[in-house]
Structure 1
């Protein structure tokens, strides 16, 4: 999210730079041609800084190229410069790029370049934002055609015109003027919220992980104590577990052999010690009957893992076709009186279920007999019919 906001900010900066521009306040001063003792000054916000121009102040004597080179597109262009004082080049637009005009004037020694728009009949000859890459730090502005021609006419009369260029105001869409501020605030707010949430989420995960680790360590410690209290037994030759009808370990599925060390759980199921001990450390229950060894010995952990078992759904039948079969099984405790492996218990239960399935089911059949009633009207009609015959 932070990268997206940063990209949006950079895009907004680019759009702001491209869509905004600076006006230039242009002050010209000269002696009145009819009364040389009077100094005339005119100030207007009629200039527009170029897009690649530095926004700074510039001043000097206004100088134009020679009349035949007034467009300043030829490298041999000369300027009507008589005095060695700071000067500003005034050039008409056209015939070559802004960059070529500005570079030619600055190489000649101009402190700034003013380009006035050309005249096109039927069009507004206003100023436009000039694009002049490659002009380094040259101050360049554009003024409209009427103002440029006014200055050219004064210069044609031999009147010295001095010009001061100063920065005016930045213009652009109101969105561009303020959006950089709001985007910056949004960037920092979103970044702060993202970092804060990441820290909170990481701390919460770390806390939960530590709690789970503490719980697991505690349960494992309790399980180790309980495992050490469970009965160990070494099988011998002749034990029923090692005989021909002997069962196998429910964990490793290997047949019990003499000298095998087995552990007997609280539910009287036995398994290989090397098989059941790691299982009990992780699960703490019998692999077959799910008997909890901690609870069976009276140890209640502070935090218990919730076990959710899925109970298969029983299909429903309509009441007209439903038949009820009731089979009663004797209750058996998980803790059997005799030691047995897991497969023995399961096989014994399967045998019991087989016996129940093979037994016939006596279902009493009830037949409802409707009572008989005499129909006297029918009997009278029958008697009259027999009398007629």
Structure 2
């Protein structure tokens, strides 16, 4: 054997040794991750479960490794996970945006809940599953999941809860454009609850989703009237539902272009809760967006940011950051006041956050760039805006506006 051959052989042996050691190390780590995942079966109680999910979400890198191993382990026969373990893994995966793994474990936890005939566990895991499908805009799958649940017979308590599932199925039908089916089911529920308010509110939502804004506004006003006259609800609960309905109604009026009516609803809400961040922000924003009451709008939006900071401090939020939507509102009102440099500062802060990667916020930033003569930057931001996923009909309308602006900026 020549010296060169000897050297080559040594290198090959070293490489094999390293590869073998790496394989053994991964096998050991995989075994540890499997054991860690299976230990989740023994955690019981709402607070310990919530605490463990929070802990897993915080340790994102290691938890993602464990989730992948757990997904492989779940394919074993017999399937080794119990309800609590599967449910914890599902929620941790959802927190970390590992959606396929989350859905897999929500399915496992749902099957296990059915096996033990636990209505509470079934509804808990089902809620997680359809919420995930909703976020992913898989409305057809969510509708099928609802129907499957409605077809089950477990116990009387579960039968009572089916009304909530039916409500969700109606919403999923509407999201798919099955408006007539959704309205027919809603009207049937209203007949069963003659004189009630709950399903009138649901009809208002379906009509809003269908783009029938005038009918939706009238239905929500009827909901508020029925709530006000309701004798069965406790006063506190009644006021809470009226508040929710009034806030949604303000959004319907915005879609109708009736800003004065939208502002009136928000002012009524602020009269009772003057420090509410969202109500301050929304009123300030809809005025600013229409070049109305700009000084007052700025005050309202700054108050929203201030009150939101107070709330976060009180709640002890770990990763403290300003609300991207509120930063956008402040940037927008400053843009309307032609304070472009100041507006840019807040809008740049807004888009740093994941929640700020929204077509409307990006469009606002691009408008500011253009006002400052920064055409290249504006074009880049508008292109980024076009890559975002529209979440609503408003976003789809905004998408068309951005396309027009981009073409004009590029001279096309």
TM-score (norm. length: structure 2): 0.20
Structure number with bigger Rg: 1
TM-score with structure 1 length normalisation?
0.21
User: Quick check: which one's strand share is greater?
Assistant: 1
Structure with greater helix percent: 2
